[in-house]
Amino acid sequence: MLETKAKPSFTLPKLPYEESALEPVISSRTLSFHHGKHHAGYVAKLNELVEGTPFVGRPLDEVVKRSAKDPKAKLIFNNAAQAWNHAFYWRSMRPMGDGIPGSLLASAIKRDFGGLMEFRTAFTKAAAGEFGSGWAWLVADKDGILKIATTDDADTPIVRGEKPLLVIDVWEHAYYLDYQNRRPDYISAWLDKLANWEFAEKNLGML
Each residue's pLDDT tens digit, 7-48:
678 999 999 999 999 999 999 999 999 999 999 999 999 999
d(CA 19, CA 35): 9
Percent of the chain at pLDDT exceeding 90: 91
The predicted pLDDT at position 1 comes to 39
Provide mean pLDDT across the span 127-138: 96
The predicted pLDDT at position 6 comes to 55
d(CA 148, CA 133): 17
Percent of the chain at pLDDT exceeding 70: 96
pTM summary value? 0.94
126 pLDDT above the threshold of 50 = yes
d(CA 106, CA 10): 35
143 pLDDT above the threshold of 60 = yes
CATH 2.40.128.120 fits 103-205, yes or no: no
Q: What distances in angstroms separate CA 18 from CA 22, 28, 83, 113, 193, one per listed residue?
A: 8, 8, 19, 34, 16
Residue 133: DSSP 8-state: S
Return the domain boundaries, the chain.
28-91, 103-205
4: exposed, middle or buried (Cβ count in 10 Å: 0-12, 13-18, 19+): exposed
The CATH T-level fold of domain 28-91 is Helix Hairpins (1.10.287)
Residue type at 54 in one-letter notation: P
